[in-house]
Structure 1
Amino acid sequence: MKKPILSVALCLLTAGAFASKQTELQLVSDDINYGDPTASFTTVGISRSGDATQLNGMLGLGNNIFQLDLGVADKKTSDGKIDYNYRGRYFHVTDGLGFSVDVLGDRNSTTALAGMIYKFQVTDNVMLFPMLSVGRTSSDETGKETFKSTIYQAGLYGMYAFDAGHWLYANPKTSYVQQSKEWVPQVEIGGGFMVSDAVSVGFKVDHTAESQFSRQDTVGWLQANYYF
């Protein structure tokens, strides 16, 4: 699924040497599955739901990972403003343990979280990533009182990595909202299919339960990414 490897053998000896090198490079590249949330790589992509488009980007610099998602809805809000959403994340990974700072929101809300994630390699193909974060959230919709609260979030990202580089995952999580003293469950499921060494297509479905600061919502996305 990975970076392109190319050459042409001119004779039996060089062909054998090239095949050996090809195998070595392929083994190195196979160590990365792009569905792994702790893997460091660089990608740009686009996602599309029924009424919105989102641009996705990630820059992996060794143990330091930077992510940015920017989305815009097809229609403006009732007061004529652009309806948007965003997410920015810094992630540091060391020996399977990751620490992150995450800021996400839309026109009416903002949530900031700091937390950690750990990678358990159950089998060659199955990985589990328990997650724990704490932060603040605020919501300010027209005609409603501003809502602010500390939140605590726990989740589990479970992933199956196919040998060919494809992946499927499920990410259930729940947030405890201190101000309203309620648990808000969420779940995300999705997957990716490598159509070439550097291109994947995929999907995800997000569901959020209704709470005092969020509406019940289910959104499906189609995605395409280029890796380099």
Structure 2
Amino acid sequence: MAVALPGAGASQEQNPPLPPPRPDRPAPPEKPDGKSPVRESAEQNATDAGDPAAACIERLTKLGLRFEKRPPVQENACRIGNPVSVSALPTGIEVSPASLMECSFAEGLVRWVNEVVIPRTGEHFQSAPTKLLIGTSYQCRDQRSGAKLSEHAFGNSVDVMGFEFDKRPPLTVRVQPEGSPEAAFQSAVQKEACAIFSTVLGPGADDDHDDHLHLDMRVRKADYRICQ
């Protein structure tokens, strides 16, 4: 005669076996470390929000810039919190000489070259840019007026002296002959830079900027921009 153990039936009823997962609702695959893609994405977003400097460096890496991460700069009142030394842009355009700048400014420089310089070079010269010639990037100094520190003092600016190309002679930034392809190209890259940078000064603005394009990302109230 079979003997029923006390409480056995009740225990089985309280803890029935779990049914197998429905075939139309597979469990999300797990990575080798046991983290699901959703969890990993949430953790990455949290990391980016908590460390914007690291997030910027990661974006530059994904864009394909050639750069070196440098230690923070502190020189009197001048400083760069997240400096990088950029030697080439994602399209292989050389930055000459390699220039020290804030990571976020490097992102703006990439955007300007990709969205403005490359297409305007093709339009006006039927060519492609190969080199960006830089005069000044980081430099601990005041504005020329002496009113406050220059954006160069924060790695938030570059002075572009000229461009080199694959199918034509280099172009030096200056007052170009009226009606020439050089004048049309330079005017276009100067004016269209205003959609990306908060300050754009070049030939025609004043005597101090007749031989270069000054680009910076100074933060002003109500997103006020100076484009000359």
Same fold (TM over 0.5): no
Q: Give me the TM-score of the superposition, normalised by structure 2.
A: 0.28
* Greater length-normalized contact order (CA 8 Å, ≥ 6 residues apart): 1
Bigger radius of gyration among the two? 2
Q: Which has the higher strand share?
A: 1
